[in-house]
């Protein structure tokens, strides 16, 4: 079987939904998995040889026209991580997905007739939104071959860190106030930010914070491991859209044995034992208390780190990628 992925973008979503599965699918007997991304798309020779083509968040007209032309000899699947229709108007990523674009996504899904998703919330919502489509829920995959940590010599310092994209910036800015209030002036605590530097953090003494620009997907896990974070932050906004998202942030921290403080709402609240909870109000005093508890209690950090790591190991791509292949085989059998 030849599976070909066409990415919608070069970002974290394409890494976990295209590049990681393609890497491990290619190691299975009688399977070839390839990828094309912008600007190649339909010019890629591998696309024309594939049995099954996965369109990850695609909206390009050239891809749509290729699909319509080749549906008789290739099977096309549309792939989404979240329920894009649930994004609220004031959310940071809404400008990336205005109603016009969502209309195009709808046309793609209806033309494909088959949709793969990566969260239970998205599965539930999109089953209702597209009753005529066949929808499949795929398990997350974790690439443990890239889980290489670089441990610093100064183990007395505690590093409180955050990593995220534009969709997480608003809530991260809010929680940064709590971080600053806890660690200001403490020589044993440093805060580390990857991909976004909140204004409150900039006001700390220079020796208390580190900032790193967002890196491309080829280097993300290596950089995250090199940051050597002791406590990971995973705040989520209390909005319906959040419930349709994946647990990827927990898994990213978990693969490096980083204990996490997280907002106790779905999708995280489906796994309540994996993180130190802050209730859905996200009040600063609740975040301050949680950060203090984790900073002051090494045993608590180690307990949550081990628990999350054990859970994350259940999604080792070497083992779980077979489930992706089974889904693809089932789809091919139904449509043949």
Total count of domains within the chain? 2
**Cα–Cα distance between 249 and 241 in angstroms, integer?**
16
**Cα–Cα distance between 271 and 261 in angstroms, integer?**
13
- Strand arrangement of the beta sheet that strand 209-212 belongs to: 209-212, 189-194, 158-163, 231-234, 260-263, 276-278
Please report the pLDDT score of residue 335 as a whole number.
85
Residues 271 and 151 in one domain: yes
Pull the structure tokens for residue 259: 């204990």
The answer to whether 159 and 171 are in contact (CB under 8 A) is: no
Residues 321 and 232 in one domain: no
**Cα–Cα distance between 187 and 260 in angstroms, integer?**
22
Please report the pLDDT score of residue 39 as a whole number.
66
Q: What are phi and psi of 53, to 5 degrees?
A: -120, 125
Element (H, E) at 75: strand 75-79
Q: What contacts 92, CB < 8 A, 6 or more positions away?
A: 166, 167, 169, 170
The answer to whether 304 and 274 are in contact (CB under 8 A) is: yes
Please report the pLDDT score of residue 151 as a whole number.
73
| CA torsion through residues 260, 285, 240, 213, sign | negative
* 136 three-class SS: strand
Residues 160 and 274 in one domain: yes
Element (H, E) at 189: strand 189-194
Element (H, E) at 292: helix 284-296
Q: 161: domain range?
A: 145-313
* 32 three-class SS: strand
Residues 186 and 242 in one domain: yes
Q: What contacts 172, CB < 8 A, 6 or more positions away?
A: 162, 164, 196, 198, 233, 235
Residues 42 and 134 in one domain: yes
Query: b vs e for 11-49, b when ≥16 Cβ sit within 10 Å of the residue's Cβ?
Result: bbbbbbbbbbbbbbbeeeeebbbbbbbeeebbebebbee
Residues 107 and 170 in one domain: no
Residues 265 and 152 in one domain: yes
Please list the ranges in the chain whose pLDDT falls under 70.
9-12, 39-40, 153-154, 166-167
Residues 150 and 237 in one domain: yes
CATH of the domain at 228: 3.40.50.2000
Please count the residues of the chain: 336
Give the Cβ contact number of residue 218 at 10 Å: 10
Query: pLDDT digits over 95-110, tens only?
Result: 989 999 999 999 999 9
Residues 265 and 162 in one domain: yes
Please report the pLDDT score of residue 12 as a whole number.
65
Query: pLDDT digits over 239-257, tens only?
Result: 999 999 999 999 999 999 9
Residues 75 and 163 in one domain: no
Residues 237 and 258 in one domain: yes
Residues 41 and 111 in one domain: yes
N- to C-terminal Cα separation, the chain: 14
């Amino acid at each position: 079987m030849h599976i070909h992925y066409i990415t919608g973008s070069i970002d974290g979503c394409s890494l976990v939904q295209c590049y990681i599965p393609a890497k491990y699918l290619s190691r299975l007997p009688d399977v070839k998995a390839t990828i094309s991304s912008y600007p190649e798309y339909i010019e890629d020779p591998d696309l024309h040889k594939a049995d099954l083509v996965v369109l990850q968040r695609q909206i390009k007209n050239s891809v749509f026209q290729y699909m319509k032309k080749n549906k008789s000899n290739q099977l096309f699947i549309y792939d989404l991580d979240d329920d894009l229709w649930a994004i609220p108007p004031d959310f940071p990523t809404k400008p990336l997905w205005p109603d016009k674009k969502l209309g195009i996504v709808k046309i793609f899904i209806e033309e494909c007739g088959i949709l793969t998703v990566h969260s239970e919330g998205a599965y539930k919502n999109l089953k209702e939104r597209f009753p005529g489509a066949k929808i499949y829920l795929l398990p997350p995959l974790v690439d443990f071959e890239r889980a290489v940590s670089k441990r610093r010599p100064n183990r007395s310092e505690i590093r409180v860190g955050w990593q995220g994209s534009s969709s997480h910036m608003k809530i991260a800015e809010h929680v940064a106030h709590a971080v600053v209030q806890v660690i200001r002036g403490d020589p044993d605590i440093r805060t580390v930010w990857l991909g976004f530097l909140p204004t409150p953090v900039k006001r700390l003494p220079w020796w208390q914070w580190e900032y790193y620009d967002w890196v491309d997907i080829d280097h993300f896990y290596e950089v995250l491991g090199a940051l050597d974070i002791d406590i990971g932050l995973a705040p989520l906004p209390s909005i319906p859209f959040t419930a349709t998202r994946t647990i990827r942030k927990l898994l990213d921290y978990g693969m490096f044995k980083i204990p996490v403080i997280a907002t106790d709402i779905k999708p995280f609240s489906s796994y309540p034992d994996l993180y130190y909870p802050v209730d859905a109000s996200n009040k600063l005093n609740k975040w301050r208390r949680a950060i203090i508890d984790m900073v002051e209690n090494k045993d608590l950090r180690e307990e949550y780190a081990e628990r999350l790591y054990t859970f994350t190991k259940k999604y080792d791509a070497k083992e779980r990628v077979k489930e992706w292949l089974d889904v693809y085989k089932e789809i091919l059998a139904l449509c043949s």
